[in-house]
Structure 1
């Protein structure tokens, strides 16, 4: 498996985890508005974890994009990647 495919899979996995966590948090925030939910500290901690998850998901995508751009620029320069 090429290295760029691994980074693509990591980026997709990070995005899926972020979406699942975001859905859970939206449900908990709505429950907090209408009563009976997690403690506010737990919601804040979950939001911080969501932020980290999104950050890692975006960074995986950026690394993948950087590899694609580097290959394309190398193609213009006449450098073969493999």
Structure 2
């Protein structure tokens, strides 16, 4: 969009060339920033998926720890043999 505007400004005699050049330069910079933001968004989506997997694994670990804790508790409270 900025490049199109620069093309229109370029048609204005006297001031159009300088303004069009500056606008073209800035539109390239804005385009670069937009590409970097898109890349960052993709990386954040990937990180979100990884963190979701870690959360699921930790939930599974918690369930196993609870289960093994119950088993240990059963062993500890088992009646001692009479002597």
Normalising by the residue count of structure 2, what TM-score does the alignment of the two structures yield? 0.50
Q: Is the contact between residue 6 and residue 24 of structure 2 (CA under 8 Å) also seen in structure 1?
A: yes
Q: 1:54 to 1:37 in 2, by over 3 A?
A: farther
Deviations 1:2-48 (A, max 9, x none): xxxxxxxxxxxxxxxxx3x233123334x36xxx4743222111111
Q: How many residues align?
A: 55
Structure-2 residue corresponding to 1:71: 48
The root-mean-square deviation of aligned C-alpha atoms, in Å, is: 2.2
- Tell me if structure 1 keeps the 8 A contact 2:6–2:21: no
Query: Which protein is bigger by CA-based radius of gyration?
Result: 2
Bigger relative contact order (CA 8 A; separation at least 6) = 1
Unaligned runs of at least 5 residues, structure 2:
56-83
